[in-house]
Amino acid sequence: MDLSLTETERLFRKEVRDLIATAFPPPERYDGSPDHEQRWHQALLARGWAANKWPTAFGGPGWTATQHFIWEREVTAAGLPPQVGGMGMGMLAPILFAYGSPEQQDRFLPDILHNRTRWCQGYSEPGAGSDLASLRTRAVLDGGDYVISGEKVWTSGAHRADWMFCLTRTSDEARRQDGITFLLVDMRSPGVTIFPIISLDGRHAFNRVTFDGVRTPVGNRVGREGEGWTVAKGLLTHERTGQAFVSLSTDLLGRIRDAAATLPGTDGGALLDDPGFGRRLALADIELQALAATELRTLSEVSAGGAPGAQSSVLKLKGTDIVQRMTEFFVECAGPYAAPWFPEVAGPAPDDIGPHWARREVTRYFEGRAASIAGGSDEIQRNIIAKQVLRL
Ligand SMILES: Cc1cc2nc3c(=O)[nH]c(=O)nc-3n(C[C@H](O)[C@H](O)[C@H](O)COP(=O)(O)OP(=O)(O)OC[C@H]3O[C@@H](n4cnc5c(N)ncnc54)[C@H](O)[C@@H]3O)c2cc1C
């Protein structure tokens, strides 16, 4: 989407570009390593932009929706993450702003900002994924502590996390959503056991986490007892708003065009000029521009203090669809060279065979499939849209 920027916004874009160039002077590019992540985070902290989505009351820079848009666009094009700090920064912090006590905010937010603690999300359980309200991990009040017993599954990054924010059942109300409580749990507590789940590609991202009489103080409850469902729903809308992938899809679109311009099409010209390929690419581009406008509208509502609501399901559903289609274009471009490569499993890649982008983009194609499930599956987003937006 082409925004006509004001002079101030153009200056802001220059500031962003300068920051990127100072942190990673060309031709150096961010490679996702811990060293690079640390360097980028330090640059963000020094500039006051580490928590760029946080409200000003909590140290955020108070950007407008357009500034957020520019930021995402510029850093994604440079291959950098828009923020460092994982689930703590992007998912838990907004909940602490809304539901956390002043003590919880003082205790947890500085460590999140400085990336000193890693958080994981303990929602899903065996038998409670889409139907999250059927969760059974039990928390019983005993003196000043909740005592937790049960099991969580698909917990991304639990093996590296210091803390978990999790949903527990504290009572069996007629309406299942009413008996759920949101707790923060120290992952080093006695009784927490982490079992790795190795995925088909050989990587260790997921875990199963069991709780056997794990104690967490009442002071680690966010919101009131039984209010966990409301807290969790707020968190999920923030998670889904972050899954529109507009900047990533925009970046991929540009690179697909570059790649297709150098590849042969069916009629002797370039693939980019092939009418069938070009028509499908143009359609994806139009849908991406519509998504970008929707995202910008949502961001401006959030900047004005609103919550994303059911709009976040539209962003997640459509954003996932478009980014997956972008990766499919790359697979089409790569042709016989379309094979994934996971360096953490297979070791450093040998010299490139085929186009230099093929290995990375085809890997992204496979990774991108999970986006239809993580944060609530496509079908669940459609159900939410049907009920809350279309009122069906
Ligand atoms: C990459 C990734 C990371 C994840 N990280 C985490 C994490 O950190 N923490 C965490 O708690 N969870 C995590 N999850 C789990 C994720 O939230 C669940 O996988 C998801 O909610 C779906 O639940 P399920 O796997 O139990 O599938 P199920 O709920 O069993 O669904 C199976 C299929 O049935 C469909 N379905 C279910 N109910 C309905 C319905 N009412 N109408 C129509 N269709 C329906 C679903 O769409 C799906 O296709 C992660 C998942 C992925 C893929």
What CATH number did the domain enclosing 380 receive? 1.20.140.10
Percent of the chain with pLDDT over 90: 71
Instruction: Report H helices in the chain.
Output: 7-23, 34-47, 65-77, 86-87, 93-99, 102-113, 228-241, 246-261, 275-303, 311-334, 343-346, 358-368, 378-384
Please report whether residue 110 resides in a domain: no
Q: Please check whether residues 257 and 360 belong to one and the same domain.
A: yes
3-state helix, strand, coil in the chain (%, to 5): 55, 15, 30
Q: For the segment 279-316, what is each residue's pLDDT rounded down to a tens digit?
A: 999 999 999 999 998 988 887 777 676 777 788 899 99
Atom of ligand 1 at shortest range from CA of 122: 11
Q: For the segment 359-389, what is each residue's pLDDT rounded down to a tens digit?
A: 888 888 988 999 999 988 999 999 999 999 8
Closest CA to 272 of 291, 257, 288, 294: 257
Which one has a higher pLDDT value, 202 or 148? 148
Q: Please check whether residues 277 and 344 belong to one and the same domain.
A: yes
| Boundary residue ending a domain (84, 107, 132) | 84
Instruction: Domain count for the chain, please give it.
Output: 3
Spatial neighbors of 200 by CB under 8 A, at least 6 apart, are none
Q: Which of 239, 295, 301, 361 is catalytic?
A: 239
| pLDDT value for 244 | 87
Mean pLDDT of 135-143: 97
| pLDDT value for 302 | 72
- 279-285 long-range contacts (CB < 8 A, ≥24 apart) are 280/329, 281/253, 281/256, 281/257, 281/329, 284/253, 284/322, 284/325, 284/326, 284/329, 285/253
| pLDDT value for 238 | 65
Q: Please check whether residues 269 and 377 belong to one and the same domain.
A: yes
Please report whether residue 106 resides in a domain: no
Q: Please check whether residues 260 and 379 belong to one and the same domain.
A: yes
Q: Which residue's C-alpha comes closest to atom 3 of ligand 1?
A: 374
Please report whether residue 173 resides in a domain: yes
| Boundary residue ending a domain (201, 227, 253) | 227
| pLDDT value for 80 | 95
Please report whether residue 1 resides in a domain: no
Residue 341 has pLDDT above 80, yes or no: no
Q: Please check whether residues 196 and 136 belong to one and the same domain.
A: yes
| pLDDT value for 3 | 59
Mean pLDDT of 21-35: 93
Q: Please check whether residues 198 and 254 belong to one and the same domain.
A: no
Regarding the beta carbon of 133 and ligand 1, being less than 6 Å apart is answered no
| Boundary residue ending a domain (58, 84, 110) | 84
Q: How confident is the model at residue 199 (pLDDT cuts 50, 70, 90)?
A: confident
Mean pLDDT of 151-170: 98
| pLDDT value for 240 | 67
| pLDDT value for 328 | 96
Ligand 1 centroid distance, CA of 308 (Å):
21
Please report whether residue 317 resides in a domain: yes
Q: Please check whether residues 298 and 210 belong to one and the same domain.
A: no
Please report whether residue 104 resides in a domain: no
| pLDDT value for 352 | 65
Which one has a higher pLDDT value, 185 or 340? 185
Regarding the beta carbon of 376 and ligand 1, being less than 6 Å apart is answered yes
Q: Which residue's C-alpha comes closest to atom 48 of ligand 1?
A: 377
* Average model confidence (pLDDT) across the chain: 91
CATH number at residue 143: 2.40.110.10
User: How much is the ipTM here?
Assistant: 0.98
Q: Please check whether residues 210 and 302 belong to one and the same domain.
A: no
Q: How far apart are CA 242 and CA 311, in angstroms?
A: 12
Regarding the beta carbon of 368 and ligand 1, being less than 6 Å apart is answered no
Regarding the beta carbon of 383 and ligand 1, being less than 6 Å apart is answered yes
Q: Please check whether residues 15 and 126 belong to one and the same domain.
A: no
Q: Please check whether residues 151 and 192 belong to one and the same domain.
A: yes
| pLDDT value for 50 | 97
Burial of 240 (0-12, 13-18, 19+ CB in 10 A): buried
Strand 145-153 to strand 138-142: parallel, antiparallel, or no bridges (unpaired)?
Answer: antiparallel
Please report whether residue 206 resides in a domain: yes
φ and ψ at residue 130, rounded to 5 degrees: -60, -40
Regarding the beta carbon of 197 and ligand 1, being less than 6 Å apart is answered no
Ligand 1 centroid distance, CA of 91 (Å):
18
Q: Which residue's C-alpha comes closest to atom 44 of ligand 1?
A: 379
Q: Please check whether residues 222 and 312 belong to one and the same domain.
A: no
Residue 350 has pLDDT above 80, yes or no: no
| pLDDT value for 235 | 73
Mean pLDDT of 260-268: 90
Range of the domain at 348: 242-389
Q: How confident is the model at residue 239 (pLDDT cuts 50, 70, 90)?
A: low
Q: For the segment 44-97, what is each residue's pLDDT rounded down to a tens digit?
A: 999 999 999 899 999 999 998 889 889 998 999 899 999 999 999 989 999 999
Which one has a higher pLDDT value, 205 or 305? 205
| pLDDT value for 299 | 76
Q: Please check whether residues 172 and 131 belong to one and the same domain.
A: yes
| pLDDT value for 267 | 82
Which one has a higher pLDDT value, 300 or 191? 191
Please report whether residue 58 resides in a domain: yes
| pLDDT value for 348 | 74
